[in-house]
Amino acid sequence: MVDLFEEIFSESTADPNETARQSMRTLRRRFYKTATARKTNDGFAVELDDKPVRTPARHLLAFPNLALAEQAASEWRDQAEFIDPAKLPLTRLANTIIDAVTHACAGVAADIAKYIASDLLFYRAEGPERLVARQHEKWDPILAWARETCGARFVLAQGVVFVTQPEAAVEAMRRLIPTDPWRLGAVHVITTLTGSALIALALSEQAISPDEAWSAAHVDEKWNEEIWGRDDIACARRAQRRIDFGAAVCVLRLFP
């Protein structure tokens, strides 16, 4: 069973051709009848037919509380004839947190901090006026929250020319980066999916809702779609990112 899970959740390579081949591989047939959550010495584990699931690095797939484990078990119960990793977002996130984040918290936090220094919300369009207004509408409340709650005052710019942010502002937001591996991993995923640590931290602190966070992250993308038309491939990619985003939100919601 270990080898099967390693194949199901194997990481894509840097080679785009190999990544494409992996994405087209035949899905594995469902081999179990039941998926349950059970308390263990390592937390709350997911079991298939009473046998524990393990991560690609062979760690026990165990969650910090029963609510998260039950949510992950439900992903496995919802699988149809074939196991589709894309429909196991919480399990995939847990694999990453258990195998990677737990032993590299400082590095993950540092990566989030890099986003703070060059956040999406700082760089505004010069036009057209409707796009500028939409950015103000979606992004300014998050910056206002950072200013009023954390005393973080950032410098805005037009275009893509890099602007150095005040170190005091960056440090103020850095202090909100979670230290627990589960919340840290969730915030990192949200940061990379949205391109904004400020969006991720505001969501983590419950200053904005998941829908508000997702909408703020896609102002420019939605604008381009309105101007140039719908791209089915881009929409499918965004839909999958939303699923992964939802798994990270689930961790923040069920592991406060």
What DSSP letter does each residue of 118-131 carry, written as one string? T-GGGEE----HHH
Tens of pLDDT, residue by residue over 140-161, are 999 999 999 999 999 999 988 8
Q: Which residue has the higher pLDDT, 137 or 1?
A: 137
Q: Burial code of 208-238, b = ≥16 C-beta within 10 A, e = fewer?
A: bebebbbbbbbbeeebeeeeeeeeeeeeeeb
DSSP 8-state code for residue 253: H
- Give the helix/strand (H/E) hosting 63: strand 62-63
Sequence ranges of the chain with CATH classification 1.10.3580.10: 103-254
pLDDT, residue 26, reads 60
Query: What is the average pLDDT value for the chain, to the nearest integer?
Result: 91
CA distance 88 to 74: 9
What are the start and end residues of each CATH 3.30.2180.10 domain in the chain? 2-88
Averaged over 225-232, what is the pLDDT? 88
pLDDT at 23: 40
Superfamily of domain 2-88, CATH level 4: ATP12-like (3.30.2180.10)
Residue 229 predicted with pLDDT over 50: yes
What tokens does 101 get? 């984040």
Q: Check residue 8 and give its pLDDT.
A: 59
| DSSP state, residue 100 | T
Tokens of 154: 């950032």
Give residue 112's pLDDT: 97
Contact 96, 107 (CB under 8 A): no
Question: Which residues is 38 bridged to in the sheet?
Answer: 45
Q: What is the CATH number of domain 103-254?
A: 1.10.3580.10
Q: What average pLDDT does range 180-200 have in this prediction?
A: 98
pLDDT digits (tens, 9 = 90+) for 94-136: 999 999 999 999 999 999 999 999 999 999 999 999 999 999 9
State residue 25's pLDDT score: 52
Residue 30, SS3 per DSSP: coil
Please tell me the pTM assigned to this model: 0.90
**Which comes out higher in pLDDT, residue 65 or 159?**
65
